[in-house]
Structure 1
Amino acid sequence: MRRAALSAVGGAAAAATPPGRFFRAAPPVLAADKESLLQLRRRTGLPFLQCREALLRCGGDLGQAEAWLQEQAQQQGWSKATQVRGRRAQEGLVGLLREGTAAAMVEVNCETDFVARNSEFQQLVEQAVLGTMAHCRAAPAPLTACTKHLLQADELAQLRTGPGGALLSNHIALAIGKLGENLTLRRAAWLRVPEGDGYIATYTHGWGPAPAPVAMGAYGALVACRVMEPRPPAATLEEVGRKVAQHVVGMAPTALGTPQDEPRGEEEETRLLAQSFLLEPDLTVGQFLGARGALTVSDFLRFHCGEETPAPGG
C-alpha cells in the first residue's frame, strides 16, 4: 500500500510539473554503447580508453569525438616528435603509384622494421604517395618528352593529400604520436610522359602485399618509356616494362646511356642500356629492348629505402 501511495504521489507531482521544466541530458557513454566505441577505434586506431574518453567529452557524438581525438593525437605527436628527433630512422618503405601516364614514388622512414609493417605506417606512406601524385597532376602535362621532378623532405612535408586535405607534416605528427618512433618523410619523385605514345613501367621489391593501388617495398623503380609502332598489346607493354624496371632495381644503374654503347665490363657499367640484362645476361638492356620492339626508355628513377644519397646540389 505504501509503495502504491508513493507511486501515486510521484505521478501526481509529475503531472503538476509544467512542460517547460523538463530537461534532457546527453546520455553517458556506457559499456552498452559498444558500437560507437568500436567504430571510433576503427576510424582512429587509438586505444579504447582514449576513444571512450572522447565519446564522454563529446556527449556520444561520433564526429566530434573523432575530431577531438585527432587534435589531441596531433598535439601529442608534435610533442613526441621533439623527443624522438635525431634518433636513427633508416627502416621504412618505398611506396609508388601509377595512374595512366603519371607515376609517383616516395620514401618514408621509421626506426624499426616492425613499425614498417604496421598498418598506421603504411597509411602514412599511402598519404605521401597520394600527395606527391596530386603535385604531379598539378604540373603542366608534357607534350613531347618525359617530365621528371624530385622533392626533398621539406617540400614533401608541405604537400597535401588532396584539395582541402591536411599537410603531410600534420599526418606524420599524428603517426609519431600513435607509433612512438621517429618517422621522416625522406624524399619523393614523379615521372610524367606524353599521352598517346608514353608509358611508365613500375616495380617494387622486398616486401609483402600492400593496399591497392599503392605498391610498397624496400626498393622501387619508375621507368619512363615511349611505345613503338605498331603498338604492341597492353600485356606485352606490361611484361617488357616490368622486366626493365626489375632490372633497374636489381642492377642500380645511374645513367641512361644509348643502345649503341659498348659495355665497359659487368662490374663498372652503370649505364642502363649498356648493362648486361638481368634476366637475359647474354644481351644488354638496349639489345633486349631492340629485340622485343615494344618500348624505348627515356628516363628512370630508383629508390632503395635507407640508402645513402648525395646532398641536394652536390
Structure 2
Amino acid sequence: MMAITAAQVKELRDRTQVGMMDAKKALVAADGDMDKAIDVLREKGLAKAAKKAGNVAAEGLAAITIDGNVAAVIEVNSETDFVASNDKFQNFVKLVGQAVVANKPADMPAALALTIDGQTIDEAAKALTAVIGEKISFRRFEIVEKGDGDHFGAYLHNAGQIAALVTVEGADEETARDIAMHVAAINPKFLSREDVPADQLAHEKAVFTEETINEGKPEKIVPRIVEGRVNKWLSEISLVDQEFVKDSDKTVAEYAQSKNGTVKGFVRFEVGEGIEKKQDNFVDEVMGQIK
C-alpha cells in the first residue's frame, strides 16, 4: 500500500474542505490517487465540490486584441506581479497581441517566430528577460473569428489577471461585454451542456448515483434524484444555462435572447492557471530565517 504524505492530506483538505482524518482515509482508499480520493469523499457526501489542483504561481498579464472580425486572447508570464505594471512589459504584451491578431499563427512555435520590432517574439522575450532580470514568457494564445452580424465582448478583470472574450450573434457589443464580465466572474467550463464530453458526464452520473445510494434513498427514486443532480451540475458548468450575474431571474441564454442575441462562444484566460506553484518547505523557510 502506498504511504500517504502530509502534503497529500493537506492538498486534499484544501481542495475539498473536509477533516484531516476523512482526507487521509480517502487517500488510503484511493491508494494515493488525488482525483479518486475526491470521488470517494463525494460519494460519501463529505465533499460537494472540489477545487482544481495546481496553485497559481505564474504572474503576468492576459490581454485581448481585436482587429475587425478577428480577436486574439493572449497570456504573457513574468515571475512576480511587480513586473506586470512595468511599461516595457506592458508594451511587449501589446505588440505580441497585435502580431498574433494580424498573422493568425497556427500554433505556439509559429507565434513565437512572428516578428515584432525587427526580432522574433521569442528573441524579444529573451531580450526583455535580460533587461528586466526576470523570466518573461509568452505562454499561450487563442484566435477567435466572427461574422459581420456578430459582436465581440471583451472584458479584462483586475487589469489583466483574467481576460474574457465572448462572441454573440446579433444583439450588440454592450450585451456581449456584459456576458464577458459574467464569464470572468463565474468561470464556466463549457458553452452548453451539449459540449460536455460523454465520459465526463458518465463519470459524474456514477458519482452522484453512488452518493445517492449511500444516503439511503429508496432504490426506485434513485434515478430521478441522480437526474436532478446531473441537471443541476450541468447548469452550473454550462455558460448558457448559468444564472446571469446581473439578473439572476434569467439564464445567460435568456439574457442574450432578451437583447435579440445568441451566445456563440467564449474564451477565458486566467493568468497562471494550471501552472504548479513552487512549493517551499515552510519549516525550512522559518529555520532559515532564525539562523
TM-score range, shorter chain: 0.5 to 0.7
In the alignment, structure 1 residue 204 sits paired with structure 2 residue 156: yes
Which has the larger share of helix? Answer: 2
Cα deviation, residue 170, structure 1 = 1.2
Matched, 1:191 2:159: no
Is 1:243 paired with 2:198? no
Taking structure 1 as the reference length, what is the TM-score of the superposition?
0.55
- Inter-partner Cα distance in structure 2 for 1:272 and 1:159: 34
Q: Is the 8 A contact 2:235 2:241 kept in 1?
A: no
245, 248, 257: which is aligned to 1:278? 245
Deviations 1:162-190 (A, max 9, x none): 8xx42101110110111000111110111
Contact 2:162–2:184 under 8 Å retained in 1: yes
CA–CA distance in structure 1, aligned partners of residues 258 and 129 of structure 2: 50
- The amino acid across from 2:177 in the alignment is R
After superposition, give the CA deviation of every residue in 1:117-147 in whole Å (9 maximum; x if it has no partner). Answer: 10011111112101211223x8xxxxxxxxx
The 1-side partners of 2:256 and 2:161 are apart by 26
- Structure 1 counterpart of 2:163: 220
Q: Which among 264, 288, 298 is matched to residue 264 of structure 2? A: 298
Match of 2:199 in 1: none
| Aligned residue pair count | 188
Q: CA deviation at 1:266?
A: 7.2
Q: CA deviation at 1:103?
A: 0.9
Distance in 2, Cα, partners of 1:268 & 1:225: 20
Structure 1 residue 160 corresponds to structure 2 residue 115: yes
In 2: Cα distance, 1:268 partner to 1:297 partner: 15
Q: Does 1:93 align with 2:28?
A: no
Cα deviation digits, residues 242-279 of structure 1 (max 9, x gap): 100111111111211179xx993379711110011111
CA distance in 2, matches of 1:258, 1:283: 17
Q: Which amino acid aligns with 1:124?
A: F
Partner amino acid, structure 2, of 1:245: A
Pairwise CA RMSD: 2.8
| Residues 288 and 241 of structure 1: CA distance in aligned 2, closer, same or farther (over 3 Å) | same
1:118 to 66, 75, 86: 86
Spell out, residue by residue over 1:280-307, the C-alpha distance to the aligned partner (whole angstroms, 9 max, x if none). Answer: 11211011111222x2111111100010
CA distance in 2, matches of 1:177, 1:159: 20
Give the unaligned 5+ runs of structure 2: 1-55, 195-227, 277-291
Cα distance in 2 for partners of 1:267, 1:296 equals: 19
Match runs of 1:19-34 below 5 Å: none
Asked whether the 8 Å contact 1:130–1:161 carries over to 2, the reply is no
Give the conservation status (yes or no) of the 8 Å contact 1:89–1:184. no
Structure 1 runs (4+) deviating above 6 angstroms are none
Partner residue, 2:124: 171
Unaligned runs of 5+ in 1: 1-87, 139-148, 208-216, 229-236
Q: Percent of pairs identical after alignment?
A: 29
Is the partner of 1:282 in helix, strand or coil? strand
Return the alpha-carbon distance in structure 2 between the equivalents of residues 248 and 181 of structure 1.
31
Q: Which of 246, 265, 270 is 2:232 aligned to?
A: 265
Q: Structure 2 CA distance, aligned partners of 1:307 and 1:102?
A: 24
Does structure 1 residue 307 correspond to structure 2 residue 273?
yes
* Separation (CA, whole Å) in 1 of partners of 2:57 and 2:114: 21
- Greater Rg over alpha carbons, structure: 1
SS of 2:119 mapped into structure 1: coil
